[in-house]
Structure 1
Amino acid sequence: MSPSFLIVRFSAIGDCVMAAYVATAIRHANPGAGISWAVETRCRPILDEERLLDEIVDFPRDQWRNARWSPNTWREQILRFSRLRSRKFDFGIDLQGHSKTAICLRIARPTSRIAAFATDRFARRLNPLAPGDPDALHRVERMLETASRFGILEMPEKPLTPKPIGLESLGLDADERIATISTGAGAIEKQYPANQWQEVARNLVQNGYQVIWLGAKPDPRIGEPGTTDRVAQWRL
């Protein structure tokens, strides 16, 4: 019987893309495995439901936050957690390490569970933390190293993500090598310096990528020859 896996990574968009490397490695190593992912509703669109995952359990945390004291909110949260526990997963991995994701994995109660990160004392108490310094490796490498405790996994060249839709309407060719860079961040202090983004873009262009800058109106506009600026023009 094929094993079943629960991946817990609620947010954010870029972090979920990095975590998709782990799900992809599991899928490549275990083509028949059942892979479920617990994620915030706003990040669901960047997860591949066709080739990568068998199930997505979304958590509408923005909605819950706006009605946090409502009995309906508590009832819905309990139902989501109960749904996960009823799956009786063989393996569970917390790839975020916050209290909210640690609680999710603990309540789901897979046969074996482990966390790649634990950002607070409460999270450290809820689930076993993978050995080693979580900050000694790149996030993708740390997450893959953690998941490899459940079996040998190889780093995929790229993660399985939803197939591009409607690129032609944007004047793009789906067969081209395209790299999009979001210039903004959740907070100004988290924004990557413009000169470093320019260095990244130059390297991508030299390797044959078409680089497109994306972002909202307040996000930085980064000029770099050979790239395309679509900040405040296209939705991320």
Structure 2
Amino acid sequence: MSDATRAASARVAAAAPRGPKWAMVIDLAKCVGCDTCTVSCKAENRTPPGVSYNVLVEEEVGAFPNVRRVRIPRPCMQCDNAPCVQVCPVGATFKMDNGIVAIDYDRCIGCRYCMAACPYGARSFDFGESYEDEMEGFDEVQAPEYGIARGRRERGSSPVGNVRKCHFCFHRLERGEEPACVETCVANARYFGDLNDPNSVVSQLVAGPRAFRLKEELGTEPRVWYLR
């Protein structure tokens, strides 16, 4: 192989997509507002009181008698140009190669700058509250978020005192599974897949005329799309 050919091959390899670029599509026409995504997410990630990675934002629009309710499920948008990453003073929030915006709990100092910067309100602070009174053993086991198994939930130990958010159930992705909210959606309103694969369902959906993203004018480049 000539030097020119070798150099050209290296450029092609460098430009080629490496690994998946995860994205989610939510069909608002299918969503029935049942909150299954919220409940399954809390169960999967064992989030404490005051911390919810998936919420259902509801709004009443129109004027009586022509009134209707609009429901918009809101996970973290996993923005490509994430304001939360830019403002973190210690680099605890960062963008992974697979497109997920992650939080290093061991580095996070709990300053909450990222919460103020997020235009989607997708972050929560873990004040150390617990469901132990309602659910015996809640503090004994934590979900292996970001693939890291942690011990007993207690004050002074991460993620207590950290900012937390949706991470597309990264620990499930590592096992070849879908995020919990996608798997349990009773209306099949959520789609999840690899944007690097042009034949994936999500790639085809985001290219269609129904697709849009929240607050696109801010330039955050979210990785969560919605279908009108």
TM-score interval (norm. to shorter): under 0.3
- Normalized per residue, the structure richer in strand is 2
Looking at both structures, which has the greater relative contact order when contacts are Cα pairs under 8 Å and sequence separation is at least 6?
A: 2
TM-score of the two chains, using structure 2 as the length reference: 0.25
Give the TM-score normalised by structure 1.
0.25
